[in-house]
Chains A and B, each alone.
Chain A
Amino acid sequence: MVAVYIGAVYWVYRASSTASEPAARLLPLATALAVVPSVLVTALGIFSIIAKSFRYIARVRDARVSPEIRETLAAVAAGDGDRQRLKWLARQHPRPFGLIFTEFLSSFGGQINTELRVLAMELGLAERWRHGARSRNFLVQKMALANLGHIGQAIDPRLLRHPLEQTRIEAGCAMLASGSKDAPAQVFKMLPDQSLLGRILLADSLRPFTTEICERYLAEGIRSADIRRARASVDLLRAWERWIPIDGFSKLVAGRDINLRLAALQGLRYASASEQEAAQEVLALLASPDERAHAPAAKAASDMGISASMPLLLNQLRTARPIPALAAARALAEMGPEGQDLLENEILTSVRPQYALQALEQSLVTERG
């Protein structure tokens, strides 16, 4: 097509090349160049308006039939509906039916979910989703994978190594939802290779398997020499925000890469088996020469109520740059009367009382609600 078009344009140019004026030679060429895109754009415009009108009508029709699909599906899933009518609706209105079925699958568990699984087989939806899981259209693939997971069908483990991260994540989530026995281990293993976005999504799907992951894989992951693996494991802890004591957690991260330590700091209060051990790491970071550690360490000190950190915090408030100084002031304000007394004293005596004042004021506003 393109070759024919280029050939035609060239032929027009050759035919007009005998004209004396350059513009007269170029005008047919320009017209020839313009004609096909003009026709194409006009045709596409008309086609788009027609297609949009059809889509609009289909949407209105879907909206009209949706309540009936919903009602019939709910009744059949509850065990007393008209199965034949449901099959007819699935055949006649596949699009809204598919969407509503997906919605039901992700919303219901227990007996209704078991019935939905049977229905998915009966109506041929499972087969359609198996095809969809290999689709090159990501949206189709994503929906198919999620649905297969919800009806407990096996997910192809090769998808966990798919070049597109989104597909890997969807496959991982679906595998976890399907109840596959080795899914938590496989998904945990793939975490280091994902972006932060992927880790957030997978961490959320791994929540129901927290105990298993912690008992069997987490400590080993944090201990790993591969910094990405250690970081991914620490991120899981932060994402879950649950009290999951890991023996010697602080020791596992102490003295390692500063970014890993800072990430671990936020999970310290959930993961440390002993308060003393956690306090040691916080104090070490507060005293660290690396300024990046000071503000997060101050926050951790106040979250865990480490009163031994007060002298270091006071020093930080007096000498550090604005962000760590403010973090230290806030931490002291959160430490109860003792910390607040120190701040009041600082307001009266210090040459830069502003951060102490701000932290005290904020604490007061929070107290008053």
Chain B
Amino acid sequence: MSSFYHVVNVILDVIIVYAFVSNFNYFVLMALGFFVLRTQRTTEGSVERDPLFRSRLMPAISIIAPAHNEELSIVQSTRSMLQLEYPEHEVIVVNDGSDDRTLQILIDEFHLYKSSRQPLHNLASAAVHAVYESQNFKLLVIDKQNGGKSDSLNAAVNYAGTPLIAAVDSDSLLESNSLLLVVRPFLEDESTIAVGGIIRVVNGCTVENGAVTKVAAPPSVLTKFQVVEYLRAFLGGRVALSYMNSLLLISGAFGLFRRDCVIEAGGFELNSLAEDLELVIRLHRIAREKKRAYKIVFVPTPVCWTEVPDSWKNLAVQRKRWQRGGVESMWKHRGMLFNPKFGVVGCFGMPYLLFLEILGPTVEVTGYVITILGLLIGFISMTTALLFFIGSVLFGTMISISAVLLEEFTTRRYAHPLDLASLIWAALFENFGYRQTNALWRFSGIFQALRNKKKKVWGKLTRRGFAPQAT
């Protein structure tokens, strides 16, 4: 028995080292993110909008937004997309076999007529029933058989004729200048093939006529925790990864891609639960294999506001799905891992994804189980337990607070001091209960992925929609 305890102790030692190393890594990325953001803050967003808005040299953009049972928010979000400040853009909404009145609401609201518009490409997607166009707006609605998000995105890409396509969630709101900002890297560097904007939590903000008019921290604790998570992921991680050109994820809620690159890559992978992650990894792969100069960039100024789950049940569904998607994408592109042929992506980006994002929850959950059982049975000393606590929880808390401070020192979107205080408070307590629950969900997501369920279920998330005063 003692040798078993010894082995368990060794495992815990490894986990403690892992916790220190991973948190140190997060800390380094966050520090790098801080310096990058400080530099970008002064140059990005400083460009006057008017010259860009009236220029004929700006590349046209198609905004593609899949919608499945979005009757509550579809009009507001479509209107918000149509009203975006950009010289030339069209909106393509895909009604992905909704059971509710999503399509009828769109037809009534935007006076759509049945169009004979034809697809320009042939990416794989489910059967299209009909295509509708608006007489008054640059709006195309594709009504198709239910096939999932990737399927809908592919259907939309098939109808897009512009050089750039912006993949957007139909339950999200883009800020009016977000297209002018997100297109900037394409104008600055011709080798840019994809750009991601920042996703922020709309819960708690005031939404009027499809635009966020007042930014505030959400009142519910669960959504506050998610605000901290989003800040940590976007401002800390992605800024630094983008700086190293090893950004592997452009959120499906808001990303701008070169259409020819998406077509060349074969579009979004059908049945994938993380089609955004998978596509970006594939774009890296193709560009590296063909030895092309390319850039995949994250910019923190163009904002997409998204509604996050406000119930534990919905959040669990979302997080398990993300984790499953991550595991599947990693498995599919495992050949890139530690492969010097893929440069910094193979040697840093992919290992980062595997060890910190995918294996992280497993290691963390194992650490908690061993520590708690070990303390109860007595085969682990209090000293070791304390070490684990410092390595995972204390350093984790510091990183969460640092993420909120990073937001405050750079983008500063929350105007009221009380919002900052409440977010710091959330960052402090996020590591006591919420983070562990999240790790458990993600751990179970890994299991689901390993069981390789053939049927990919998205899971139904209940949305509240953008009421004038969002909750």
Residues of A within 8 A of B (CB): 21-24, 26-27, 30-31, 34, 37-38, 41-42, 44-45, 48-49, 52-53, 56, 59, 137-139, 142, 164-166, 195-197, 199-201, 203-205, 235, 238-239, 241, 266, 322-323, 326, 354-355, 357-358, 361, 365, 368-369
Contacts and interface: CB of A to CB of B under 8 A. Distances in A.
B118 A203 contact: no
Given A142-B46, A203-B55, A322-B120, A48 B405 contact: yes
Nearest to B24: A33
Given A38-B398, A196-B190, A197-B184, A322 B119 contact: yes
Interface residues of B, number: 54
Contact of A139 (B42, B384, B386, B424): B42
A142 B46 CA distance: 8
A354 B116 contact: yes
- Across chains A and B, which 3 residue pairs bring their CB atoms closest together, nearest first? A204-B51, A197-B187, A138-B42
Contacts of A323: 120, 161
A166 B417 contact: no
A166 B402 CA distance: 30
Contacts of B416: 56
B232 to A, nearest CB: 13
A308 to B, nearest CB: 26
Contact of B405 (A41, A166, A266): A41
B437 to A, nearest CB: 24
B127 interface: no
Interface string B379-422: 00101101100110011001001101100110000011100110
Given A27-B387, A196-B188, A201-B51, 9 more contacts: A30-B387, A34-B390, A41-B401, A49-B424, A138-B42, A142-B46, A200-B52, A203-B55, A204-B55
B390 A322 contact: no
Given A41-B398, A41-B401, A48 B390 contact: no
B20 interface: yes
Contacts of A38: 394, 398
Given A21-B383, A53-B417, A37 B398 contact: yes
11 contacts: A31-B390, A195-B189, A200-B55, A200-B57, A201-B51, A205-B51, A239-B55, A239-B56, A241-B56, A322-B121, A355-B118
B229 interface: no
A52 B120 contact: no
B289 interface: no
A139 B417 contact: no
A200 B51 contact: yes
A13 to B, nearest CB: 13
Given A142-B46, A200-B187, A30 B405 contact: no
B118 A322 contact: yes
A21 B402 contact: no
Contacts of A30: 20, 387, 390-391
Contact of B57 (A41, A238, A357): A238
A365 B113 contact: yes
Given A45-B405, A322-B118, A56 B415 contact: yes
B48 A201 contact: yes
B135 interface: yes
* SS of B interface (majority): helix
Contacts of B55: 200, 203-204, 239
Nearest to B390: A30
Contacts of B115: 358, 361
A34 B51 contact: no
B118 A326 contact: yes
A23 B384 contact: yes
B43 interface: yes
A320 to B, nearest CB: 12
Contact of A326 (B42, B46, B161): B161
A17 B387 CA distance: 16
Interface in B85-128: 113, 115-121
Select the residue from A48, A139, A165, A238 with max chain B CB neighbours within 10 A: A48
B424 A45 contact: yes
Nearest to A263: B57
B54 interface: yes
B24 to A, nearest CB: 9
Interface string B289-319: 0000000000000000000000000000000
A38 to B, nearest CB: 6
Contacts of B408: 48, 52
Contacts of A24: 381, 383
Nearest to B17: A26
B58 interface: yes
A56 B414 CA distance: 11
A37 B394 CA distance: 10
Interface string B13-32: 10000001000000100000
A265 to B, nearest CB: 13
A238 B402 contact: no
Given A48-B420, A203-B55, A139 B394 contact: no
B57 A196 contact: yes
A197 B49 CA distance: 12
Contacts of A53: 417
A34 B56 CA distance: 55
A358 B131 CA distance: 11
A114 to B, nearest CB: 24
Contacts of A197: 47, 184, 187-188
B417 A357 contact: no
Contact of B58 (A27, A138, A200): A200
Contacts of B184: 197
B277 to A, nearest CB: 29
A34 B388 CA distance: 12
B411 to A, nearest CB: 13
Contacts of A56: 415-417
Nearest to B121: A322
Contacts of B113: 365
A45 B401 contact: yes
